[in-house]
Amino acid sequence: MVITTPAPKEHWGCRDMRQGVCFKILADDCKNIAGISMNVIRERLSIAAGQFAPVRGNIEENMRCHELLITLAASVDVNLIIFPELSLTGYEPELAEKLALTDESCLQPLQALADRHDMTIVAGAPLYVQDNKPAIGACVISAGQPISYYRKMYLHPGESDYFSSGTAACVITARTFNVGVAICADAGQPRHVEQTVQIGAEIYINSVLSAGGYEKDTDVLKNYAKYYAMPTLMANYCGTSGGWKPVGKSAAWNAKGELIAQAPEDRAALVIMDFKDGECAGKVICLS
């Protein structure tokens, strides 16, 4: 994969938990200095998918799993980690209204870890939305930065009974790379990946609960990787949640659509994509 530094782009993501208001960031990753080439060397980037078995509705216990995986990720110099859909509560639609985040207090342990390890953490939780149902959210927690939020845009059949949908695609910047964020069924809609690429995504990460449809889900992500020449990463559960039996096997594909790393079905693990010197490599580390 040949990686070149993009021209400055505008990137969008949700920041207001209650209103779902969107903010705009000018990602001027490289300076347009006269006489100096824009094709500068990219920084190294390491992205991980954190796989674990959630505890139903238990934010404290699920937070402990996040902390273990984040600490392991930091020990191997990961810069960005994403967890499965609704990772802080487990995928429990019937509990979403009760557990929806109304402020950032329960995210402070993750903020402390992000600051300590100079890392970005993408954790899942139901988000309070004023005068509407909760949203399925991705909480983007970066070192030294305000927490921002992405709301799932495309709901799975039946989810609209419990959740409202978001309206804006999200791209975050990790080192000098632009990373598009998806939540599960988002990726099942080609329009979502198109929108995400249009606002600058070079890498696509998907926070999922994948059970019986795993082969279909992974074929979609593999094909996106190949079609857009865009490395893709999926974070799945490896234990029962919401009555579903996720199959684990969180995975990564390079820009050719080749599978470069896949976790086992039944163990907590990290699936890691490393970008260095224009190459993308994968590896798996299981929790002992």
pLDDT digits (tens, 9 = 90+) for 123-175: 999 999 999 999 999 999 999 999 999 999 999 999 999 999 999 999 999 99
Q: How confident is the model at residue 41 (pLDDT cuts 50, 70, 90)?
A: low
Residue 194: how many other CB atoms lie within 10 Å: 12
Q: Are 247 and 218 in contact (CB under 8 A)?
A: no
Distance in angstroms (rounded) separating the CA atoms of residues 235 and 80:
12
pTM of the model: 0.87
Percentage of the chain modeled with pLDDT above 90: 84
Q: How confident is the model at residue 278 (pLDDT cuts 50, 70, 90)?
A: confident
Mean pLDDT in residue range 48-55: 98
Q: Is 30 a residue whose pLDDT tops 60?
A: no
Nearest to 173 by CA among 1, 43, 270, 29: 29
Mean pLDDT in residue range 180-194: 98
Mean pLDDT in residue range 174-183: 96
Nearest to 146 by CA among 270, 274, 275, 25: 25
Name 52's Cβ contacts closer than 8 Å, sequence gap at least 6: 65, 66, 69, 83, 84, 87, 237, 238, 239, 268, 287
Distance in angstroms (rounded) separating the CA atoms of residues 100 and 134:
6
Name 7's Cβ contacts closer than 8 Å, sequence gap at least 6: 38
**Collapsing DSSP states into helix, strand and coil, what is residue 162?**
coil
Q: Is 8 a residue whose pLDDT tops 60?
A: no
Mean pLDDT of the chain: 88
Mean pLDDT in residue range 98-114: 97
DSSP 164: B
Q: How confident is the model at residue 40 (pLDDT cuts 50, 70, 90)?
A: very low
Q: Is 185 a residue whose pLDDT tops 90?
A: yes
Q: Is 9 a residue whose pLDDT tops 60?
A: no
